[in-house]
Amino acid sequence: MKARIVEQLGETKVLRPSRIADGLAANERAKVRMSAVQAVARQAANPGSAPDDLSVECAAAGVNASEIQSIVAAARARTPDVVASPGLGKLVTSLFSDIDAMIEAVNAGDANAASSAAKRVSILRSNIRIDGDEIDARRIAALSALIDGADSAHRVVMDLHKALNRLAADCAEETIAGAHAHGVLASDRPVIEAFMRGLDRTRHLKFDHPGLDTLVTRAGTRLIIQNDIGATDAHVIMIAVEGLNVTITYTDVHRARAKFFVALFDRFAVLWTGLNRESAKGLGEHDTFYLVTGRCAVASEQDRDALLGAIGASLVFLIDWNKARKSLRALIDGPSAIRLLDWAARHEIGHRAYLECGGAELVAAAIRRAAAGRIGFGDDLAAALGHDIAVDFLKAVLMTAMEGLRDGRSSRLVRDTIEAELARHLDRTDSTILTVVLRQLGLARDIAVEIADHVAKRSSGTSDGAKDQADLAARARRIEEKADRIAIDARAAVHRLNASAIVAQLVNAAEDTVDELEQAAYVASLAPAVIDRTLIDLLATLADAAISGTEAAASGIDAAAEVSQGRRADVDDAFNATRRLVDLEHAADDAERAVTGVVLRNDRAEGTLCVLELARAIERATDRLARIGHLLREHVMADLSA
């Protein structure tokens, strides 16, 4: 290959890869030194504050960290217009030397760009006056800032860096696993391949979006991997690999996205610097971007390759991340939106397909078609479905969109699938409230058991008289008050989640059942000590019917909550429960009529009036339970129709 290059391009171009590598290394040093100049200015303005720590950045760029740290720490304002620090003059001189090295590298492939940069640097040198280790504070901006309409060393470095990137892509000596590589060693190939395996594993999730081009070069003992991620100028990642040491330098215009990126590597022992805010005209909101650096010393080549693969795989989830976050924020709260994006990244689903399919409008269309009567225009999805169900639904949306685009499905099929998911999750809101009805029925059973036990004690003669009666009424009252609180919460959930009318009626029927049984317990507490044996047996039958009814209703509710999942056994269980409730209500009717017959035939029997009222109260409770059975049947039929 080199012979072919010599033949077609000439000696200078053969040397271009190594010069570009030197220029990129000089670019890294120049960025660190410009950061140091800014840190000097900040320290001079605030001498009592802790100096900026640039040790990680220095190590990544091959700059003497202790020397930089001492310059920053010693910075003081000599006068309001003059900043001074021992070594400051050397720092500025070294910065211009790095720029000269970049110009030399660019000159190997683009003489015009190099000549233009050299003229600009000459003017900057003449305007920036360095007197020993002192510098005019007003001239610092010409070194490290981007000022609208004015040139600066920072702007020259950025332009030279872009030129170097173009040259490096154009003159790549070889392509390794899809990466443009030049000046690398044979031993670098496994490292590059490890990164590219991760990148290629998720690259398809960007779909038609540009980005993710990778450029690799060797700079001395370090292998530098650079990826442009997307189209934004300030959105770049640089990975430096030196033996078993990996340094990650990441820049972003969005602080939240930078924090999201860092969080993706919580399973690796990466030490991250704080997010530093940098100034750059035209980059990000308020002309700023953020820089974070992470360093990881791994134990083996296998661990190093795992980290590099994870970095490569993560990059696609940064493309259009902020756009996706804003879109999801229209549906759920901000923190939940970020957690959802984190979930999508860790499960290698991503958000690009969701955006390409329409984003929030995709969900809005599903609501209009499948849930217009239950979710109003502009309603918060979490408020309409409940937070957990809304998040689960949006996970399904992200998955469906990804699978649809990946498999080449039509947009209509993707929309239909999402509408079906919404209908299924709306069923889950009903199921959520049905679990509340289960709690109500559990409390109803508790009262029915208390009544049955009380009747049994009367039958066996083991009752403690007035004390047992008072305890029965008090316990039933406490249970009923608890059931009332549950019913109030359930009604609020029905309103909040736009649950179906049948579910709301089930809540009411369960509450009525508890009320009737609490009334029955109160009446039982008033019964005389001696009751006719025939009446005692009939009351026991009624109490058993109430217990069995609450159990059958609970069984039916539990099955009905699963009917939407399509299991035939759940449908059968729900219908069997409704039939059982009707049978129990008929049995309770027969027992209550038998009590009435005994009372009417012998109105002088002891406790007849109280027993009659008790029997009627328990029978009314079984009527309410039968009502639950009828509502259950309607609910199941509605689910089956859907």
Q: What are the pLDDT digits (tens) for 622-634?
A: 999 999 888 888 8
Quote the CA–CA distance of 310 and 118 in Å, as a whole number. 40
Q: What band does 327 get if pLDDT is binned at 50, 70 and 90?
A: very high
> Is the predicted pLDDT of residue 40 greater than 80, yes or no?
yes
Same domain, 163 and 176: no
**The pLDDT of residue 11:** 32
Domain boundary among 301, 318, 335: 318
**The pLDDT of residue 6:** 21
Helix (H) or strand (E) holding 161: helix 153-170
Quote the CA–CA distance of 29 and 61 in Å, as a whole number. 5
Quote the CA–CA distance of 271 and 479 in Å, as a whole number. 56
Whether residue 415 is contained in a domain is answered as no
Same domain, 122 and 269: no
How high is the mean pLDDT of the chain?
Answer: 83
The single-letter DSSP state of residue 52 is P
DSSP string, 552-585: HHHHHHHHHTTGGGT-HHHHHHHHHHHHHHHHHH
**The pLDDT of residue 4:** 28
CB 291 within 8 A of CB 275: yes
Same domain, 483 and 598: yes
Helix axes 533-560, 568-601, angle to 10 degrees: 160
Helix axes 111-127, 88-107, angle to 10 degrees: 160
Residue bearing tokens 């993706």: 264
Domain boundary among 120, 137, 168: 168
The stretch 231-245 carries a mean pLDDT of 81
Range of weakest confidence among 255-259, 512-516, 520-524, 631-635: 631-635
C-alpha distances in angstroms, 116 versus 15, 98, 147, 156?
A: 22, 16, 19, 10
Among 248, 247, 184, 175, CA closest to 214: 175
Whether residue 417 is contained in a domain is answered as no
Q: What does the pLDDT look like over 375-391, one tens digit per residue?
A: 655 566 776 677 887 88
**The pLDDT of residue 330:** 86
What residue numbers bound the domain in which 503 lies? Answer: 424-641
Same domain, 283 and 138: no
Same domain, 448 and 548: yes
CA dihedral 312, 316, 320, 324 (to 10 degrees): -120
Whether residue 247 is contained in a domain is answered as yes
Tokens of 50: 């802790």
Whether residue 576 is contained in a domain is answered as yes
Question: What 3-state class would DSSP assign to 498?
Answer: coil
Higher pLDDT, 431 or 70: 70
Quote the CA–CA distance of 518 and 618 in Å, as a whole number. 9
> Is the predicted pLDDT of residue 9 greater than 50, yes or no?
no
The stretch 201-211 carries a mean pLDDT of 90
C-alpha distances in angstroms, 231 versus 119, 210, 314, 424, 616?
A: 29, 7, 16, 39, 77
**The pLDDT of residue 287:** 59
The stretch 156-167 carries a mean pLDDT of 90
Helix (H) or strand (E) holding 18: helix 11-45
Same domain, 44 and 115: yes
**The pLDDT of residue 5:** 18
**The pLDDT of residue 374:** 58
Quote the CA–CA distance of 556 and 593 in Å, as a whole number. 27
Q: What are phi and psi of 558, to 5 degrees?
A: -60, -40
Whether residue 486 is contained in a domain is answered as yes
Q: Tell me, what amino acid is at 507? A: V
Higher pLDDT, 5 or 575: 575
Q: What band does 328 get if pLDDT is binned at 50, 70 and 90?
A: very high
Domain boundary among 318, 340, 367: 318
pTM higher than 0.95? no
Same domain, 488 and 394: no
Higher pLDDT, 541 or 210: 541
Residue 501 sits in a domain whose CATH number is 1.20.58.220
The stretch 559-583 carries a mean pLDDT of 74
> Is the predicted pLDDT of residue 14 greater than 50, yes or no?
no
**The pLDDT of residue 418:** 84
> Is the predicted pLDDT of residue 277 greater than 90, yes or no?
no
Higher pLDDT, 497 or 107: 107
Question: What 3-state class would DSSP assign to 82?
Answer: strand
Q: pLDDT above 70 covers what percent of the chain?
A: 84
The stretch 40-66 carries a mean pLDDT of 90
Same domain, 288 and 383: no
The count of domains in the chain is 4
Whether residue 338 is contained in a domain is answered as yes
Whether residue 416 is contained in a domain is answered as no
**The pLDDT of residue 343:** 96
Whether residue 414 is contained in a domain is answered as no
**The pLDDT of residue 3:** 25
Quote the CA–CA distance of 409 and 356 in Å, as a whole number. 13
Range of weakest confidence among 164-168, 361-365, 366-370: 366-370
Same domain, 227 and 96: no
Same domain, 630 and 503: yes
**The pLDDT of residue 27:** 93
Same domain, 313 and 332: no
DSSP string, 217-238: EEETTEEEEEE--SS-TT-EEE
Question: What 3-state class would DSSP assign to 239?
Answer: strand
Q: What band does 462 get if pLDDT is binned at 50, 70 and 90?
A: low
> Is the predicted pLDDT of residue 600 greater than 90, yes or no?
no
Same domain, 500 and 636: yes
The secondary structure of 524-560, three-state, reads: HHHCCCCCCHHHHHHHHHHHHHHHHHHHHHHHHHHHH
Q: What band does 210 get if pLDDT is binned at 50, 70 and 90?
A: confident
